[in-house]
Structure 1
Amino acid sequence: MSIVIENMTKSFGGTSVLRGIDLTVDSGELVALLGPSGSGKTTLLKIIAGLEWPNAGGLVVNGSDWLGLAAQDRRIGFVFQHYALFPHMSVRDNIAFGLTVRPRVERPGKAVIAARVDELLQFLQIAHLADRFPGQLSGGQRQRVALGRALAIEPTVLLLDEPFGALDAAVRRDLRAWLRRVHEETGSTTIFVTHDQEEAFELADRVVVMGDGRIEQIGDADQIHDHPATPFVARFMGATIELPVQMHSGRAEASGLDTSRLPRRALPDGPATLFLRPTEIVPVADPGGRWQVVRCASNGAVLRIELSDDAATVHVDLPRRAPEAQGLAVGTRANLRPEAGAIFSDRRAPVPVQSRQQEFPRKEKSL
């Protein structure tokens, strides 16, 4: 089932939550909505499910206008962060629930329902839990049951809202790989919401980065990591160091910075900002350097270095055995050599919302 969202807006009490969303999800695609709290991703998911209504915009699924359909008529499979299982029902009855409450004319017979539940219990590898109650299950087991209940109705679209947010890190890793296999075997069109970058990039065919009710960028892990489309994306992806530079003929220049490793950028001459991650900078000892090392700490593998000048402080993560790390100590003067980074012109005029959405060609996932 393909999904087409056009110029969607939503406000709550005068506060804009969605500011003109345009997004197309192909049939059978798994797309992640990634962003911080308040970026609008859960609101967008709820509008697709029919749990919220937009102020304006279009929502077309497989050629049908879904804004004219009530939630119960959309046949959505929805998985919440906190499972939302019925505590008084067994695993088997929880999974069967969506089928048993259908209108009588649409409701399958008991034998058909039982067969469908048995099939899902085997598929989700929880057949041995069929007669247990939610209170007797671990968090990971409950999330499998919740997914089974969503899949039982053979949903047109599967929506997951922070599905692993309540689980510990080890269980989350296992369930991510498992969910990807489930998606590939069912071929469902799936959208899931997360604020976890690792989760989004590991699971999704494409990642939609959202901020302040807008789509900032669409792409895969490498595209978004290496080529952030906006300062917001750069910061969200960990570029916590921002240094003023001057652009000249496509090159970034600044005192105390060796920018020779950075490629030329198609930016106008004038002031700009260089966005860097702590792992993208190499301090090079220089008695006349702009920066001074004020702190060094090692965790065995990484040397964490804090450098300062009169105007700024920079934190660098350098492999402890790197040649450049030798001889660095508190008091050492140094210049900085960025190995990578994103640059945004400070003279750039405001960009219309729609043109800010940068999308790269889709990359096929190997099965």
Structure 2
Amino acid sequence: MTMTISHLIRRFGPVEVLRGIDLEVRKGELIALLGPSGSGKTTLLKIIAGLDWPDAGGLAVNGQDWLARKAQERRTGFVFQHYALFPHMKVADNVAFGLTVLPRAQRPSAAKIRARVEELLHFLQIAQLADRYPGELSGGQRQRVALGRALAIDPEILLLDEPFGALDAQVRRDLRRWLREVHDATGTTTIFVTHDQEEAFELADRVVIMGAGRIEQIGHADEIYDHPATPFVARFLGLTVEIPVALRAGRAIAAGLDTSLLPRRAMADGPATLFLRPADLRPAPDPEGTFRVTDVSSTGALLRIGLEGPAGCRAEAEVPRRTASGLAPGQTVRLEAQAGQIFPGQTHLGGDTAAAAAPSADRPILKESHL
């Protein structure tokens, strides 16, 4: 089974919620749609399920036009965030529901339905709950029942919309490991929506990052984490420190910033922005440093250090508390970038940031001989 989504567009009035989505999902893949609220993830999932229709574009499975099929003809299993179980039905009846409402010609016999339900309840490790009602179950147990109901019809595609969003952190961690095991055992092509990076990276074969109705990047967790493709992805993945730099011969240069640990980039000379995670920035006391400590706060294990640099550039560093002695508000420091991503142009700072980033006679570049 191969799903091909081609230039999918969806509008709600003047608002374009999906802006030309192109995506191919291979048989047996587990794909995560990751992004902030309003990025179009759930709308895309509903279109795949047949619960919504696009204004333009195509959706095909194995070369067949799925937009010409009604929802009940697509054989998709859908698991919602809040389970959507029938409260008046016992667990076994909830799991059996999708089979009992199939058209008569496709509906298995009552004996086969019972056998399928028993098989799923044992597989999902909830056989002991068969005669209970949803109101008697924990959140994690309800989500297993919801998944069992979705799997009962042997779906071509399993769709999950924030499946663990209503659960506490420990239950979420346990269930997502369990879901990965279920996926590997069944081989069902699965697409799930989440705004939780850890969840997406731990579970998915590939992660699709969406923002404002567009796909910003597709790839494996490590690839996306280490090499965000756009400033949007960088910010979404926690690269919240943005320092204006100047690119020269593939190296990022800025006053008071040591970038010698960063690899050379195949980019044209000119103004750029260095994106870093606070944990990848190391401040060190220096009377001639161009950054000043504005505030210091402790989380116990870490110190969060607020910094202000040339042209109003603001940054935050996170360093282990026991190794950060000597840093105090008002102190001038030099900065070392241990990792980061560079994008051409100045992304958000006003003023002549290119000039601020460039070196001058009274603002030497640290370790310039290594750049």
TM-score when normalising by structure 2: 0.91
Question: 2:275 matched to which residue of 1?
Answer: 275
- For residues 152 and 339 of structure 2, the distance between their equivalents in structure 1, rounded to whole angstroms, comes to 47
Q: Map 1:34-73 onto structure 2 (within 5 A).
A: 34-73=34-73
Equivalence for 1:284: 284
Distance 2:215 2:313 in 1: 31
Of 289-298 and 202-211, more deviation after overlay is shown by 289-298
Partner of 1:82 in structure 2? 82
- How far residue 265 of structure 1 moved from its aligned partner, in angstroms, is 1.1
Q: Which stretch shows the higher mean deviation, 67-76 or 305-314?
A: 305-314
Deviation, structure 1 residue 119: 0.3
Shift of 1:104: 1.4
Counterpart contact for 2:261–2:339, Cα < 8 Å? yes
Deviation at 1:163, TM superposition (A): 0.4
Counterpart of 1:356? Answer: none
Correspondence 1:1-367 to 2 at 5 A = 1-309=1-309, 311-322=312-323, 325-346=324-345
Distance 2:5 2:126 in 1: 36
Secondary structure at 1:228 match in 2: coil
Give the AA of the match of 2:30: L
1:83-115 CA distance string (max 9 Å, x none): 000000000000000111111121111100000
Instruction: Please list the CA deviations of residues 270-294 of structure 1 after superposition, one character each: whole Å capped at 9, or x if unmatched.
Output: 1111111100100021111111222
Aligned residue-pair number: 346
- Amino acid in structure 2 at the alignment position of 1:162: E
Displacement of 1:329? 2.4
CA contact (8 A) 1:83 1:143 kept: yes
Check the 8 A contact 1:17/1:39 in 2, yes or no: yes
- Whether the 8 Å contact between 1:288 and 1:333 is mirrored in structure 2 is yes
Q: Distance in 2 between matches of 1:63 and 1:314?
A: 50
The farther-off stretch of 307-316 and 209-218 is: 307-316
2:352 — aligned with what? Answer: none
- Could you tell me how far apart the structure 2 residues matched to 1:33 and 1:237 are? 14
Partner of 2:353: none
| Structure 2 Cα separation of the partners of residues 73 and 57 of structure 1 | 20
The residue type paired with residue 203 of structure 1 is: L
Q: Which moved more, 1:216-225 or 1:125-134?
A: 216-225
Structure 1 residue runs of 5 or longer lacking an equivalent are 349-367
Identity %: 68
Equivalent pair of 1:2/1:189 in contact (CA under 8 Å): no
- AA of the residue aligned to 1:337: E
CA distance, structure 1, for counterparts of residue 297 and residue 212 of structure 2: 36
CA drift of 1:298 comes to 2.9
Asked if the contact 2:273/2:346 (under 8 Å) is kept, the reply is no
Give distance in 1, aligned partners of 2:175 and 2:168.
11
The RMSD of aligned alpha carbons is 1.3
Comparing 100-109 and 198-207, the one that deviates more: 100-109
Gaps spanning 5+ residues in structure 2: where? 348-371
Which region of structure 1 is more displaced relative to structure 2, 300-309 or 52-61? 300-309
Report Cα offsets for 1:198-256 as digits up to 9, x if no partner.
00000000000001111100112211111010000000000111111111111111111
Counterparts of 2:117 and 2:278, CA distance in 1 = 50
Write out per-residue CA displacement over residues 310-355 of structure 1, whole angstroms, 9 at most, x where no aligned residue.
6133211012233xx232223321011111111111189xxxxxxx
The letter of the residue matching 2:69 is L
Q: Larger deviation: 252-261 or 26-35?
A: 252-261
Indicate conservation of the 8 Å contact 2:242/2:276, yes or no.
yes
CA deviations over 1:69-96 (Å, ceiling 9, x no partner) = 1111001100000100000000000000
What CA distance in whole angstroms lies between the structure 2 residues aligned with 1:216 and 1:299? 33
Distance 2:308 2:27 in 1: 51
Residue by residue over 1:109-153, the C-alpha shift from the partner in whole angstroms, topping out at 9 and shown as x without a partner, is 110000000000100000111000011111100000000000000
Structure 1 counterpart of 2:364: none
Taking structure 1 as the reference length, what is the TM-score of the superposition? 0.92
Write the letter of the residue equivalent to 1:244.
Answer: P
SS of 1:145's equivalent?
helix
1:22 and 1:286 mapped to 2: Cα distance? 50
State how far apart, in whole Å, the 1-side matches of 2:330 and 2:100 are.
72
Q: Secondary structure at the match of 2:260?
A: coil
Instruction: Indicate if the aligned counterparts of 1:241 and 1:278 stay in contact, CA closer than 8 A.
Output: yes
AA aligned to 1:198 is: E
